[in-house]
Structure 1
């Protein structure tokens, strides 16, 4: 076992979902670091940018490979905390967290990227790097082959003159991009919808779930908006672009909404959407791990459209945590309205929170209301 393998072996996912089937690193992390070293002719340069690191493998791996300063952006606050916990465990430092903005990539000559599954997210990242990084920047972007498509090559080609792929290794591959075209920034993007007879604008950054669309699960839950408890304060948990909370605020001028999400892109999208819809004074968006900071037994109404993936894996771990957290925060007599994929069977989890009634169900989605 070499030094990097030993480092990777000590990485953990906490406070993210931990499971024997889920790892804190994979072969693509090692391949990105190896391809980057080959591209620069040996040890990594002193200044490196890392984007999309999941639990610290790329950031800490880059520091171990010669980097002295790593600017890192992770969309998930849980990923940030996992990196910090792993760095503390290993006694490593030398990195700094950044938002996905010009300060992250200004003057950068080497960018290491874990390829996102979302083409919109990749597009926003590519535009940012190609607009603000050094003219000689090299982007080394890797992922698992099963999640990569030729559309990624074409998309990078819109922001860089030269894009080529590495050979595959352990079911992983890397895309190299050079020659920034200085495309400018076209994010976030916006789209108008009609929601329950009222116009509602959705503003989205690339990494926000469903983008400027309204996903079918949210549409299913919105059909029951008039049936929900008449609370003065409500929570949009795992808010995405804030569609649910903003629709509630538009329908009820007296309600105040707290929208929370682990994703920085989701929170930025919710804030922009609230502003676009004229409810920014009543919809507060916070990046958080679930409902941390929300007092126990304090919420009269919680809306939840939980994710059913952990990274690329179909896994109920995040939904289980969100439902439990909602149960902790729900006030006596308060209501948790949840929409979930019918085959996943979340009913037992919801019944641990309180009495649960099925409101609607079809082959794809079930809507329930749980009363504490």
Structure 2
């Protein structure tokens, strides 16, 4: 099958007519980097933040091999793998963590700019520390999501920064001459007796967002034989709080974000409960067997990448229902304006309101 950007799919992420797998920023990045990629050589090309494989597979279709790739969401990794299978390009790349091995000796980096400046700071420092001295970083995004602060972050690690002309509402920053590199380290802050650790890009950073804080205020005491699941755990605050409140329990935390998983592990360790909090990277709760859990806590996201989409939370409710045993409970906090209660009733079972304030609602849904 001939490769085509237009034929890429988002699956297993949410798919809808208004959600695309690639955009103008991908095309501009590929065009601006074409000459540099041709001279990068084997193992010289690194792709960071590729949404669903457009950058990686376009480079592979142009003859690139041994491409190293990092995508923060696990759904992105799986979409890349599925798209590669369709186009016969499965042996052209390897997916790696955001680590030294990802960028060591890299000569060209294609980067979709993250929304978080802290995430960009982590990436820029890592590249500057371990890539080749002549590395060229092509960092692109949609103009509406780009800020001048991104230029400043890149200038902290690169002596030369050029800005391309905009095209299709997209722009590329080109960084050269790396200096003063540094490996990512999590930021730390203490809130209500919990040390929160966060790598760049983790939701809410080293704070506790107000929805999670409201959920924490109302979580119930748990029986000694419960194995709680912190679903979409972010920095692991709920998992850590449950482990601290229940010294005899082991807690599972899962999130599809690599930055969130690393942050949750660091948070659990910082609070002395690392041995009782198991943190895994998972797409939804796919690694968990049907009908095995008795308690799940969830603060569902409502973004798929940069797009707001109402279909994300119902999918999470359905997967939580699959994992819960009959009589098990899903405790959810949600923005009251989203009116999730009917969806929880349909997916899980009878749902009662536990608490409500001006902005958030906490509910408990019992698996029917």
| TM-score w.r.t. length of structure 1 | 0.94
Determine if contact 2:218/2:355 at 8 Å carries over to the other structure: no
SS at 2:228 equivalent: strand
Structure 1 residue 177 displacement after superposition: 0.7
Which of 223, 228, 237 aligns to 2:217? It is: 223
Relative distance call for 1:230 and 1:62 in structure 2 (3 A) is same
CA deviation map 1:245-302 (0-9, x unaligned): 1101101112211111111111111111111111111110011111112121211110
Determine if contact 2:224/2:248 at 8 Å carries over to the other structure: no
Q: Counterparts of 1:171 and 1:44 in 2: how far apart (Å)?
A: 28
Determine if contact 1:126/1:156 at 8 Å carries over to the other structure: yes
Determine the structure 1 residue equivalent to 2:265.
Answer: 271
Within 5 A, what are the aligned runs for 1:1-372? 7-38=4-35, 40=36, 45-46=41-42, 47-92=44-89, 93-194=91-192, 199-226=193-220, 232-352=226-346, 353-372=348-367
Structure 1 residue 65 displacement after superposition: 2.6
Q: Counterparts of 1:14 and 1:282 in 2: how far apart (Å)?
A: 33
SS at 1:258 equivalent: strand
Q: Counterparts of 2:352 and 2:223 in 1: how far apart (Å)?
A: 14
What are structure 1's unaligned runs of at least 5 residues? none
SS at 1:223 equivalent: helix
Q: Counterparts of 1:88 and 1:226 in 2: how far apart (Å)?
A: 46
What are structure 2's unaligned runs of at least 5 residues? none
Q: Counterparts of 1:220 and 1:294 in 2: how far apart (Å)?
A: 27
Relative distance call for 1:302 and 1:111 in structure 2 (3 A) is same
CA deviation map 1:297-338 (0-9, x unaligned): 211110000101111111122212111111111122211110
Structure 1 residue 105 displacement after superposition: 0.4
Relative distance call for 1:186 and 1:265 in structure 2 (3 A) is closer
SS at 1:233 equivalent: coil
CA deviation map 1:216-270 (0-9, x unaligned): 1100101102466665210000000100111011011122111111111111111
Relative distance call for 1:58 and 1:41 in structure 2 (3 A) is closer
Q: Counterparts of 1:272 and 1:181 in 2: how far apart (Å)?
A: 28
Structure 1 residue 126 displacement after superposition: 0.5
Q: Counterparts of 1:146 and 1:230 in 2: how far apart (Å)?
A: 50
Q: What is the root-mean-square deviation in Å for CA atoms of aligned residues?
A: 1.6
CA deviation map 1:40-78 (0-9, x unaligned): 286764431000011100000111233222000011111
